[in-house]
Structure 1
Amino acid sequence: MRGYLTPFVLLFVACSSGSSENTDFASSEIIEGLRFRTNVDRVNPMIGTTGLDPSEYGGMIPSVALPFAMTRWTPMTRENYVSRLPYHHDDRKIRGFMGTHQPAIWMGDYGYVVGMPGIGDVRAGAEARSLPFRHEDEIATPYQYSVTMDAGAGQSVKVELTGTSRVGFMRFTYPKGAQAHFVLEATRANITGNVRIDAAKREITGYNPDRQDDKLGPFKAPGFKGYFVARFDTSFESFGTSTGEALHEGEIDRTSDAACAYVRFPAGTRKVEVRIASSLISVEQARDNLDREIGDGRRFESVAWATKKAWSDKLDRVDITGATDDQLATFYTGMFHALQYPSEASEYGRYYSAYDDRVHEGESYTSYSLWDTFRAENAFLTLFAPERIDGMMTSMLQDYREGGWLPMWKNPAETNIMVGTNADSLIAEVINKGFTGFDLNLAYEAVRKDAMQPPDRDTELKYRDREEGTPVEARAGLTWYKEKGWVAADRTAESASRTLDYAYEDWAVAQVAKAVGKDEDAAFFLERSKSYRNVYHAGTGFMRARNYDGSWADGGWTEGNQWVYTFDVMHDVPGLIALEGGNAAFTALLDRHFGEGHNNHTNEPSHHIAYLYDYADQAWKTQERVREIAESNYFNRPDGLSGNDDCGQMSAWYILSSMGIYPVNPASGEYAVGSPFFETMTIRLPGAHRPLVILAPRNSAQNKYVRAAWRDGRRMVAPFLKHGDIARGGVLYFDMADEPRPWGGKDD
């Protein structure tokens, strides 16, 4: 594979050496670069775009943009909102091409913009302007999307789409002899926005203030706007604005709800290009983003090629042998998904903060789905995008300064979605992995506040899921947790899950305390991290919720049940095993969990459970269960993700598990070992002086058991690895067999 990619890499170096940001390359060189096949071309962006349930499926869209892009560009087949994305594989019409910031299906969009080409009479409304399409006429990659839509009467309109981090680049091919036009939608009904047409500059500018999650959390950000600049390469013959289906011919400026602008192109126009830049700061900043990232001199192929190169820089670091084409598609699509979030929120040294409604200097990220991503996605990023980690931590600390708390689910301000202060886990994890390029003392101040200061009105509010009108939730019920040792079920919602989460997060806070020399604090939080014992019901062997008076209660779970959450003691698995009566009793309970169908891989709390056998001297069952989960939840097809990808967590599970590792306790910097999926993986991790080579000869669906393993020639005595064992490269060798073998068993 490495030799196969070399011409592409050499071509990029030759063309980019000494060039400025907006220098265009020779057309033949660009086209030749796009033709070189890399691992990016194994990605199937349609994976996760449909499923049996209208919302509990992969929740992905076939977007084009750079890794971690601020704005992603996608065909739009339906109106998106909370619990609905703009593209669904089952739809048969396209209503536009959208610059979206919606990070996950359960979250809302904000500051979005939509453009749509058309022919004949201008139809500005979303339904009226929609055009039919067939999947056979789509081509989707991470760097370029194209589709040919049926415009009626035997005519068609072709759209090609690529993008950078803050700019979408569209190219339209109109039918011969047709009156070509373009509609730009700034806002929908009941959302007041602005469009302005400047024919001399061939631009449409404006803003969209919609923030679909603005009912959640205390940060209303009255000044929020998503700004845009759309710049065309073709002059306008005529133009106007619209509200719904009503056209306002010749009008150049409109501020209203359902604000749209339209332009018609001169007779005979066949091809039109439009660059649409986004900004959360201003129209001027959007124009600057456009000039920096694409500019008038860049050709479409040049932008697509540079975007492909950016993805290749990540995906081509991994070479695999012994995998089917479908497995390769699943793996590299997983990398594509996991390298999208958190998304950039800063714009060349400045960022808009929805916490205090102001513009600041610095680097910023948003789309922090921390209840999901603290489990494995962040571990994936520490390996495959370590250059981003310090900036991501600094961004969370900026959120703390501007909003008073570390983020829980930031989109683009705190939404109070899910439970727990999982930023504590991320900070502890990266510190334990050697990342120090952020303010450690401020980080400890922030995590200690999470652990010690109850949220406002903690004794008054239940803090139910998506409850409106609440302060920042942080550790809701912390008052009772500090007083009783558990969150009281009769006083705070989702109390049992919260108790277990807070115990884990206390362990994480202890790690940060140790890192800054607060040894007494570290000892305190380590002791309090044992609070999970307070919700263990010895009579049933399960975790249970408790009321304030100590009586047992039913329910109290966050997207799970007693089966899932009994195993949610990631920081002290030996302690949990002791509660359950030792290894034999613990593994018997795990056997029931899987055998009776309680494991639910479609949701994150189950993701680590298969690896718990490692801690109870039955590693071969981890190897068996992990393979079963992978084979029944991941497929190379549109319904190929069994659950919402949730900002990369589902995909990160597959990627790390295919390597044979998983971070059961992410904050520890340790990985449990499973069963590598392929014969050979060669991974050139950023910053490592040598590649990580994972060798598993004779690996197959039958030979899924590990008889023994070696790290750089030294036999592993237990199924666990430190982060440094992975990140610094080297050789992991797995001796595979077709029958179970206790870890460390004697050689045949």
Structure 2
Amino acid sequence: MEIMKKQYLWALALCGLGHAVSAQDVARYVDPFIGTGAVAQSLSGNNYPGATVPFGMVQLSPDTREAPDWGQASGYDYNDKTIFGFSHTRLSGTGASDFIDILMLPMNENRKESRFTHEKEDAVPGYYRVLLQDDSINAELTATQRVGVHRYTYYNKEKASKVFLDLDHSANKGSWGRRVINAQIRQVGPSAIEGYRIITGWGKLRKIYFYAEFSQPIVASKMMNDNRTHQNIAVVNGTNLKAVFDFGRQDVVECKLAISPVSIENARLNLRTEADGKSFDAIKSQAYEAWNKELGKMQVESGEHEKEIFYTALYHTMIQPNVMSDANGEYMAADYSVRRLPVGQVHYSTFSLWDTFRAAHPLYTMLEPERSTDFVNSMIRQYDYYGYLPIWQLWGQDNYCMIGNHAVPVVVDAILKGLPGIDVDKAYEAVKMSLTTPHLNSPFEVWDQYGYMPEDLQTQSVSITLEQSFDDWCAAQLAKHLNKAKDYEFFMKRSAYYRNLHHPETKFFQPKNSKGEWILPFDPYKYGANGGYPFTEGNGWQYYWYVPQNIPDLIELTGGEDAFCKRLDEFFTSDETSGAKNDNASGFVGLYAHGNEPSHHVAYLYAMAGQPAKTQQLVEHIKRTLYNTSSSGYAGNDDCGEMSAWYVFSALGFYPVNPASGEYVIGSPTVDHAEVMLPGGKKFTIVVKRKGGAGAAYVKSVKLNGHKLDGYVLKHADIMKGGTLEFEMVARPKGKVLNLR
């Protein structure tokens, strides 16, 4: 069955449940299977197809691996044939796996997995269904923010209906020192269980509490701790806990399982608040409409294929960051104490900031300004206990993965865009201390002494120098905004430290040692990973372009606009293959690697150097060739929606090259028409007039509210006022373009 036909049938099914699908049913264009599994010579996105609501704490989805790892970070791989159960938390699109908490599997026999086929598997936003073949059980999943809801239909009438619960199931225990520290399962009523587990791994010392109610009474139970099995006992404690609950011969067993990072009592409250008295179908319908509400903030018209990619991308940007406070406002603070928020606020976690600061967070400031305020305030709460803003935060704890401190541009951008509800003085304190207090990968005493990161004192030195310079520029803009002249001068000086690693002869950013000597030999094609080399998940070519705060200066360092564009030409057309590529390098256009974030802004640089036709050509080429509607729909890890955010912006016709500048660079729109719903009832409309048919990808002119746009820049402030952006597109470029393979 075609994906779109399948989604249409599910929309009809929702109507048949007595729920009127909204007039603007854009959720029907989402295919949750996009990006869930690689085909030959590809990456996939590391996405998952299961049930969640926008930014929800629960992500209830099948695990097709017994111990998901790097290649199946979300727990699901479209190429697999076995389901081990349905766990309630996971990461979307990341390059490393974690969460994968509280697994349940319906069964008749005492089994721990089941075969399945895609022919008997479906998903729409907020709902997932699969037939477990081995026991002939139809499993359906839906969710609220903090509650996972299961409905199991048992077709074998001759055997008992059972549910297997596994608190030991997790991402691979061989990664990040992962281990379960303690756990408990307790039966607390004829049809209710509760418990918790404390696990450490990529996310450190995570506490996950749960409370679950079944629709049928438990007639027998078996609880296991390692190799010991206990029949019909009330509670079991340990580090390797599993249980089987027998409901007798039932046609249907439903389960509502609420989670909390704070306590079992809060998990029970979450269930009562969000799911008590509601049927499975009502919750399913509610989840679908929650997605329609969020996705409906952008109404686009384009080809059906393009709409499917667009709305699935927008969907993926809204899976995280995740709610991390309970219904009563309590949350687990970074020091493991329990705190309570003021009424109306929400605490969030899952901040993949090295990725998402580039485009996802600028997208949130446009579509989700109130939520963006909560994001920023959540980051500042980490500063209260850690002493610095998040680097990569999971379940309220920082795993310090990746380089720089890219919470800084997120915080600065939110304040400069005027988002209300942020304590600006506290935010500035957090920004300043995060960029001046030495900590892992950020030895600022070295930074201040040398004016760059020497490779013999700090590995990944070139990448850190470039990215830290940008963070310092962001801090300088906030200092200027607050009339802190001395701090402004201090951070602006540091924001130019990238110049100290620019080699005047090779015109590359190259590593130096602490004696000020160039480290030779230098190979701009050789890749680094995450330590032991001057470049992070990339090479000298890919990092050459990372001066988003001052592209005019980078153009000057390169030798002027002509030299800059010639170097860009080489970057996008080179077939050089020397040096083993980093695993994150994928989605190539020449040396450009769209599958990882350091390259994401580079196609837009031509427009800033006087050759916009090449930007338009490349942006259209990347959208057309590196995104699709299959399970391998992304050219690399989606990284908590960052790959998706690039597509959303680029399909609208602009992109935030400097994500904290409040400006966007014009590219080439995919949409024919779009309406962006803004706060206060305002609307920003994009109108695209094409001469030469659907393939007309080159911009002849751009008008904002009837006036010709000056240059290549669209300002965020102009978008938020509402109005109309009008593109006139033609099939032939003005100026030369590249000979792309």
Q: Normalized against structure 1, the TM-score is what?
A: 0.87
Whole-Å Cα distance in 1 between the matches of residues 675 and 202 of structure 2?
Answer: 42
Q: Report 1:586-625 matches (<5 A).
A: 586-596=564-574, 597-625=590-618
Q: Report 1:15-414 matches (<5 A).
A: 30-33=17-20, 38-52=25-39, 57-83=44-70, 84-110=73-99, 112-120=101-109, 123=110, 128-151=111-134, 156-175=136-155, 176-188=157-169, 191-198=180-187, 200-213=189-202, 221=205, 224-243=206-225, 247-267=229-249, 269-295=250-276, 297-323=277-303, 325-353=304-332, 355-362=334-341, 363-412=346-395, 413-414=397-398
> Alignment partner of 2:80: what SS?
coil
Match of 1:416 in 2: 400
Whole-Å Cα distance in 2 between the matches of residues 197 and 394 of structure 1?
Answer: 36
Residue 713 (structure 2) pairs with residue 713 (structure 1): no
Residue 468 (structure 2) pairs with residue 502 (structure 1): yes
Q: 1:439 aligns with which of 423, 434, 440?
A: 423
Q: Is the 8 A contact 1:82 1:106 kept in 2?
A: no
Q: Is the 8 A contact 2:61 2:88 kept in 1?
A: yes
Q: 1:581 aligns with which of 544, 551, 559?
A: 559
Match of 2:4 in 1: none
Report Cα offsets for 1:103-161 as digits up to 9, x if no partner.
553344247101111014xx2xxxx3211111010111111111111135xxx100111
Which amino acid is 2:265 matched to? E
Q: Is the 8 A contact 1:678 1:699 kept in 2?
A: no
Q: 1:566 aligns with which of 516, 537, 544?
A: 544
Match of 1:655 in 2: 648
Match of 2:535 in 1: 557
Whole-Å Cα distance in 2 between the matches of residues 703 and 28 of structure 1?
Answer: 38
Consecutive unaligned residues in structure 1, runs of 5 or more: 1-7, 12-26, 215-219, 456-472, 744-748
Q: Is the 8 A contact 2:626 2:635 kept in 1?
A: yes
Q: Is the 8 A contact 2:184 2:197 kept in 1?
A: no
Deviating above 6 A after TM superposition, structure 1's stretches of 4 or more consecutive aligned residues are: none
CA separation of 1:57 and 1:690: change in aligned 2, threshold 3 A: closer
> Alignment partner of 2:683: what SS?
coil
Report Cα offsets for 1:244-284 as digits up to 9, x if no partner.
676422122111222112211133x1011100111111111
Q: Is the 8 A contact 2:475 2:491 kept in 1?
A: yes
CA separation of 1:726 and 1:192: change in aligned 2, threshold 3 A: same
Whole-Å Cα distance in 1 between the matches of residues 685 and 593 of structure 2?
Answer: 31
Q: Is the 8 A contact 1:318 1:683 kept in 2?
A: yes
Q: Percent identity?
A: 33
Shift of 1:82: 4.9
CA separation of 1:567 and 1:34: change in aligned 2, threshold 3 A: same
Comparing 583-592 with 689-698, which one deviates more in the overlay?
689-698
Q: Is the 8 A contact 1:377 1:652 kept in 2?
A: yes
Which amino acid is 2:548 matched to? M
Match of 2:176 in 1: none
Q: Is the 8 A contact 1:195 1:260 kept in 2?
A: no
> Alignment partner of 1:136: what SS?
helix
CA separation of 1:55 and 1:276: change in aligned 2, threshold 3 A: farther
Consecutive unaligned residues in structure 2, runs of 5 or more: 1-7, 174-178, 523-532, 575-589, 737-741
Whole-Å Cα distance in 2 between the matches of residues 107 and 54 of structure 1?
Answer: 20
Q: Is the 8 A contact 1:494 1:556 kept in 2?
A: yes
> Alignment partner of 2:378: what SS?
helix
Q: Normalized against structure 2, the TM-score is what?
A: 0.88
Q: Is the 8 A contact 1:507 1:526 kept in 2?
A: yes
Whole-Å Cα distance in 2 between the matches of residues 507 and 699 of structure 1?
Answer: 43
Whole-Å Cα distance in 1 between the matches of residues 388 and 712 of structure 2?
Answer: 37
Match of 1:628 in 2: 621
Q: Is the 8 A contact 2:123 2:129 kept in 1?
A: yes
Whole-Å Cα distance in 2 between the matches of residues 620 and 28 of structure 1?
Answer: 46
Which amino acid is 1:202 matched to? S
CA separation of 1:495 and 1:117: change in aligned 2, threshold 3 A: same
> Alignment partner of 2:398: what SS?
coil
Whole-Å Cα distance in 1 between the matches of residues 691 and 223 of structure 2?
Answer: 65
Whole-Å Cα distance in 1 between the matches of residues 613 and 417 of structure 2?
Answer: 28
Q: Is the 8 A contact 2:300 2:675 kept in 1?
A: yes
CA separation of 1:583 and 1:35: change in aligned 2, threshold 3 A: closer
Shift of 1:698: 3.7
CA separation of 1:182 and 1:682: change in aligned 2, threshold 3 A: same
Q: Is the 8 A contact 2:314 2:645 kept in 1?
A: yes
Comparing 75-84 with 303-312, which one deviates more in the overlay?
75-84
> Alignment partner of 1:687: what SS?
helix
CA separation of 1:111 and 1:358: change in aligned 2, threshold 3 A: farther
Q: 1:452 aligns with which of 427, 436, 439?
A: 436
Q: Is the 8 A contact 2:181 2:239 kept in 1?
A: yes
Q: Is the 8 A contact 1:109 1:211 kept in 2?
A: no
Shift of 1:681: 1.6
Report Cα offsets for 1:576-614 as digits up to 9, x if no partner.
001111110000000100011110000000000000011
